[in-house]
Amino acid sequence: MALKMEITVERWPIAGTFTISRGSKTEAAVVVFTLTDSGFLGRGECVPYARYGESLDSVCAEIEKLRDALADGATRDDLPGLIGAGAARNAVDCALWDLEAKRTGRSVSDIVGLPRLHELSTAVTVSFGDAQAMAASTKGFANRPLIKVKVGGENDAERIRAVAEAAPASRIIIDANEGWNDDNIVENMLAAAKAGVVLIEQPLPAGKDEILAKIPHPVPICADESAHGTDDLHTLLGRYDSINIKLDKTGGLTEALRMQKRARELGFGIMVGCMVGTSLAMAPAVLVAQDADFVDLDGPLILREDRKPGLVFEGSRVSPPQPELWG
């Protein structure tokens, strides 16, 4: 039977509105790539991200360009020579992993050589808003062990104090999404340190972060928009303490695992994060997150309804994916 390929755009409503410093959205628009061969089916999901010049149309077109190569037997190892890193390659890479698992009857974690997968504790996310509204949202998560808070505007020190007071027993990550600048970063970092924040994610715009090598880090700093793949890591030394690995940035599980290994060798801490998508997008990231200092895979919890079957969430705990979902 010939290899069959399908590219599908899906829209998943968000429960309310999800807001970061760059704007708000009310739905997660994802691309699902499906490969079928001899009755076996493999799937991968990606989330096009405008910040990186991606759209639904561009990602679908990038995947379409791979049709002939995949039909001729292109493998995961061939993908970097055929398509750049990003959302499109992620969907294809993860679909190829899933297809191999289904063909062989082995889990992806077994193929990779990972120990038995264990349950993880994920951060939950509080959207950007004014200090009072964010404190109220944070208070609703005060029983969760790890909360990620979106900042990146004027008066962030006030937001930081408010959310820390609203959840005194929780560890808090501050994510500025490139929203700070050289003039306010020291003040905001000191406010974060005073509030007991455990990590600050991407405080400055990618490519405009030279000051991070010159100022103290009273709270560890994590690279997100500045960290896409393994080749970026050497440029981050001395500026960042941790990196956020997202499969939509790396171009799939294959590169994410490579990046994780090299990051550990260089002494970086590791967060495994996500865009807002369904459990199909989170499932491969669960494998990378088995060795992470911070896990941020709450994308499905932001949706009004998740894919079925999906990952099983109990509070902040998330179980490894079942084969019916992926891998």
Domains annotated on the chain, with CATH: 4-112 (3.30.390.10), 120-318 (3.20.20.120)
Low-confidence ranges of the chain (pLDDT < 50): none
Both tokens of residue 82?
A: 């055929």
The candidate with the shortest Cα–Cα distance to 224, out of 199, 240, 244, 242, is 244
Cα(141)–Cα(160) distance, integer angstroms: 15
Q: Quick one: tokens of 114? A: 């990972």
SS3 185: helix
Give the per-residue pLDDT at 2.
79
How high is the pLDDT of residue 71? 94
Residue 246 falls in the annotated catalytic set: yes
Does the annotation count 25 as an active-site position? Answer: no
Report the pLDDT value the prediction gives residue 22, as an integer from 0 to 100.
81
Q: For residue 237, what pLDDT is reported?
A: 97
d(CA 76, CA 97): 8
Which residue out of 65, 150, 261, 308 is catalytically annotated? 150
Choose the catalytic residue: 4, 208, 214, 246. 246
**pLDDT by residue (tens digit) across 223-264?**
999 999 999 999 999 999 999 999 999 999 999 999 999 999
What is residue 116's DSSP assignment? P
